[in-house]
Amino acid sequence: AETNMFRTNGQNLSSMGNKKRDINGPLIVVSNRLPFVLSKNSDGELVRKQSAGGLVTAVAPVVVECKGTWIGWSGSFDLKPGDPIPESDPEDKAPTAGLKSNQVNIYIYIYLLD
pLDDT digits (tens, 9 = 90+) for 7-60: 444 454 455 555 566 666 778 888 888 888 888 889 988 888 888 778 888 888
pTM of the shown model: 0.61
Give CA–CA dist 68/59, Å, rounded.
11
Is residue 62 very low, low, confident or very high in pLDDT (cuts 50, 70, 90)?
confident
User: Hey, what amino acid is at 5?
Assistant: M
pLDDT digits (tens, 9 = 90+) for 76-87: 777 777 777 787
Top-ranked range on mean pLDDT: pick from 48-62, 79-93, 99-113: 48-62
Burial degree of 6 (CB within 10 A; 0-12, 13-18, 19+): exposed
Residue 21 is predicted with a pLDDT of 63
Strand, coil or helix: what is 84? coil
Residue from 100, 48, 92, 96 nearest 74 by CA: 48
Contact 35, 72 (CB under 8 A): yes
All structural domains of the chain with their residue ranges: 27-104
The dihedral of CA 50, 51, 52, 57: what is its sign? negative
Give CA–CA dist 61/53, Å, rounded.
13
